[in-house]
Amino acid sequence: MVFRTQAGILTRLGRALGSIEVDRIDATSVQMHLYSAPPPSRPGQFATMNGFFRFALQRRLLAESPLPIEKPTKPPYSKPYIYSPGEVRRLLDASEALEEWQPTRLSILPQLSMRTLILLLYGAGLRISEATSLTLDDLDILKARLVVRNAKFGKSRRLPIGPKLCEALRIYVKARNSLGRHPPPTPAVFVKRSGDPASRFAADLSFAVVRGMAGIKRTDGAFFQPRLHDLRHTFAVHRLVAWYKAGANVQLLLPKLSTYLGHVGLAETQHYLTMTPELLREANQRFEHYAAPEDYHA
């Protein structure tokens, strides 16, 4: 497991507290730093800082933890948002106008970078961090595959990709050097307008702009609006629906989907398989076919 998020939390805590000895850490300063974070991120920050302070307590570097006794409560997370095919098309269309939105803001992805990133997440089900970590050496356009290196749990995998996605990547790589103000000095596939590698923050920020332009939003009272990461959920659900419609053996193919997504087992994959009306309908039809085949064909 790579603890990038936790490392970032402790780095920001260190900057906020300054260069002081552990036993001089002030509880008020720690709590002010914790509650200055957005509510959704507070539980994760609390857990990371709690681990650090427990480490210090066990080694008698602290007399007591400076964290509050009451843990921040988690917001009511909603189910992942599953984009319809029409909404994916709207996102791609909206990305065309990304250059018109504060074109001097170098943290925003170029239009072609954002469009290709959306296609990659939807067409290959990658995690955002996996996509932003791709280098040019990880793409094999001729063999229509890509390599995801050192992903979650330190695993790497080779993924075949479809011809349309492969062509989109070929077009992007050909135009990549002319997207920013300067030729990118990095082997990273996805770059910002500055020419620097695209971070997850830049990808999420650019997507929020695109989603707003596309007019896609939740109306179910969920805390989060549709996210870039939800394209990974959408990939999994749409793949299942396609298999059901094709009459494929979904139970046999499900482990293959789990491997493709980079999961260690089926339990992880089930988290992504959010039921949608279309998926539920296809599953019910398959069950009816199995339970009463004669009536199904009548």
Catalytic residue set = 127, 152, 229, 232, 263, 272
Instruction: Reduce the secondary structure of the chain to three states and give it as a string.
Output: CCCHHHHHHHHHHHHHHCCCCHHHCCHHHHHHHHHCCCHHHHHHHHHHHHHHHHHHHHCCCCCCCCCCCCCCCCCCCCCCCCCCHHHHHHHHHHHCCHHHCCCCCCCCCCHHHHHHHHHHHHHHCCCHHHHHCCEHHHEECCCCEEEECCCHHHCCEEEECCHHHHHHHHHHHHHHHHCCCCCCCCCECCECCCCCECCHHHHHHHHHHHHHHHCCCCCCCCCCCCCCCHHHHHHHHHHHHHHHHHCCCHHHHHHHHHHHHCCCCHHHHHHHCCCCHHHHHHHHHHHHHHHCHHHHCC
